Structure 1
């Protein structure tokens, strides 16, 4: 996956690359399983995502051999908990 929109070894803006990939643009984002290098090491972060303003973040620790990453591909217009719909 090196050099593709699936290369998450370095931090990046999620939408920056999948919008450039024809196949990913058709499905509006990610909904994929990623195999993890180290199974069972709950002391090591398996995934870390955060909002552009860094007010919201998620760190995933797991003993599972993989994780599923879903970027909310078809949530646009869906009502959120607040008054605004998802973008």
Structure 2
């Protein structure tokens, strides 16, 4: 309806930003992190990282890069 210019300005976004971690999601490219993430703020770009990781990232005010620096990055591939 033209009331909001972007998703990041809506009440829905505010709710998602405050609660996404409870469901395992993080905002991938928050404001003022472009020097670390390589991307500007994208309020629509949420990434599933799992509830445990999302809670730690949220509680510590981290971005995904901080989490990876602290815990390392591993990808477990199951071969059957």
Q: What's the TM-score once normalised by structure 2's chain length? A: 0.24
Q: What's the TM-score once normalised by structure 1's chain length? A: 0.23
Name the structure with the higher strand share.
Answer: 1
Name the structure with the higher helix share.
Answer: 2
